[in-house]
Chains A and B, each alone.
Chain A
């Protein structure tokens, strides 16, 4: 089975630009999570969805961040405008059927 698929794997862009990260969860999973990993703060939950509905977005840093899940097989995390402090590795994870979360390989984002 294909795992959680994230794209792009790496993104380098200048501050002020819009960044869109993408995630395809494991087929059949009904929960999707976005995490951010930095050296200073470790792994932090940003937002998660159950059955395509956002349940908790209290971890989203500020209004520049938004996430959508238009259907069960796709989600996006958008940063507009981006800032250098947004540089991090962003992970998507999915789960279903009472099972633990499975993680993608992450998107390494660098904002210059």
Chain B
């Protein structure tokens, strides 16, 4: 069975500083990987996805993530955070047998709560 681990429950970063959120997955083949962001009272918004090809993927809002097969990781990064980035971030894995990773259910990590200090 596939699983996702986000080892950091909370992370506090100063505004303007760089950010890295960790994600490790367990999956038998090359998975489809996703990062979603959730603001309070809102649904999940897709930041970026990895299906295949270039292991460094760019997303919205200045985020990027790097797929490292040897480490089973898909860490999210941003060079300079803004106060509006404060939110809950979820890493998810989907079945690579599905079309685009969208046709099967996703397995989510428990999330990382990002706090931005002024």
Residues 14-68 (chain A) with a chain B CB within 8 angstroms: 31, 33, 35, 42-45, 48, 50, 55-56, 59
Residues of B within 8 A of A102 (CB): 46
CB nearest neighbor in B for A105: B43
* B102 A100 Cβ-Cβ under 8 A: yes
Any chain A CB within 8 A of the CB of B17? no
Interface size class of A (residues with CB under 8 A): 20 to 34
Selected from B45, B99, B105, the residue in CB contact (under 8 A) with A59 is B105
Selected from B49, B108, B111, the residue in CB contact (under 8 A) with A100 is B49
* A103 B43 Cβ-Cβ under 8 A: yes
Selected from A33, A45, A59, A91, the residue in CB contact (under 8 A) with B43 is A91
Residues of B within 8 A of A44 (CB): 108
* B42 A105 Cβ-Cβ under 8 A: yes
Any chain A CB within 8 A of the CB of B19? no
Residues 76-118 (chain B) with a chain A CB within 8 angstroms: 90, 99-111
Residues of A within 8 A of B42 (CB): 105-106
Residues of B within 8 A of A103 (CB): 36, 43-45
Identify 6 residue pairs between A and B in the complex whose beta-carbon atoms are under 8 Å apart, listed by A's number: A4-B43, A44-B108, A48-B105, A100-B102, A102-B46, A103-B36
Residues on A lying within 8 angstroms of B by beta carbon are 4, 31, 33, 35, 42-45, 48, 50, 55-56, 59, 91, 93, 95-106
